[in-house]
Amino acid sequence: MTLILPTAGVLRSETLKALSVKTWWALAIPVAALALTVNVFGGLFGAAAGGLVDDGVPGILLASLAYALSLAGVFAAVQGVVLASAEFRHRTVSGTYLLGGRGPVLLAKGAVAAGIGAGYALVTAVVGLLAGLLGQGAARLPSVWPLLGVIGSGIAVCALWAVLGVALGTVVVHQAGAVVALLLWVLVIENLVSLVLRSGADSDRAPGVLARITSYLPANAGDIALYDLPARALGGRFGPSIVETLAGVAGPPPGWGALLVLLVWTGAAVALAHVVGERRDIT
């Protein structure tokens, strides 16, 4: 089975569906609130610690912005789940598949969800930057390239998590069950798995194979991609060690490598959703 790209009409239809309900902007409210809270404290702590690097970019503020973007990724995934599973909840999936085709609809929903997820990242970046500057009492703008790197990573991570949410919502059609499963994995199960895998690692030597697996779990990979630049700003050559602490992993790849890992997870999830969706009886 191959995926067929959606037509402009299918993309337009899915966009209108997504924007005609309140879920996307309702989830944007806590995204903005968390960005405000996290980065005000990040700015205050950065000012108190005096952790300025380069042209006035506080490494701690960059780290707090990365943390806020990580939280935004969770909300992006939730809106992806809701976007996909709503068709089954409201029993409109039969008509949608009949008019657009199962594969094209899946890809269209993923594209729309990715756009909304990227929007969450931009909201987080703007609100977080302003809140951080307010918290640290700085009237000047930070150095551009490190900040753009963190924001770009955040946009990519949030977009990929939104597509992962669409895939999950297509496989697990029960909306509440899919959302609970997502939150349990991201907030609880993956952290426990990482803790168990790292429990046998010896800090005096290179981490073992099992400990290194933690860096290649989906949520951890997203965190590594986000924390890579802030960790380098804070610790220079000790950046990887700081990433290990912030993301709770061992032997992390560079930020671009972590993004590739998350991309692979997303592709695998979409492929699974396509197979399940093609075989599901919707009559």
Per-residue confidence at 49, pLDDT binned at 50, 70, 90?
Answer: low
Mean pLDDT of 193-212: 74
Is 235 contained in some domain?
Answer: yes
Give start and end residues of each alpha helix (H) in 185-251. Answer: 190-198, 209-213, 218-235, 239-247
Is 98 contained in some domain?
Answer: yes
- State the angle between helix axes of 93-100 and 8-19 in degrees (0 to 180), rounded to the nearest 10: 160
Q: Are 102 and 277 in contact (CB under 8 A)?
A: yes
Counting the structural domains of the chain, the total is: 1
Coil, strand or helix: which one is 199? coil
Per-residue confidence at 52, pLDDT binned at 50, 70, 90?
Answer: very low
Q: pTM score, two decimals?
A: 0.92
Q: Are 113 and 162 in contact (CB under 8 A)?
A: yes
pLDDT of residue 71: 97
Per-residue confidence at 173, pLDDT binned at 50, 70, 90?
Answer: confident
Residue 237, pLDDT > 80, answer no
Can you give the residue range of the structural domain that contains 67?
8-199+206-278
Is 1 contained in some domain?
Answer: no
Is 17 contained in some domain?
Answer: yes
Is 12 contained in some domain?
Answer: yes
CB neighbour class for 114 (10 Å; exposed up to 12, middle 13-18, buried from 19): buried
Is 128 contained in some domain?
Answer: yes
Is 2 contained in some domain?
Answer: no
Is 167 contained in some domain?
Answer: yes
Residue 184, pLDDT > 80, answer yes
CA distance 222 to 101: 31
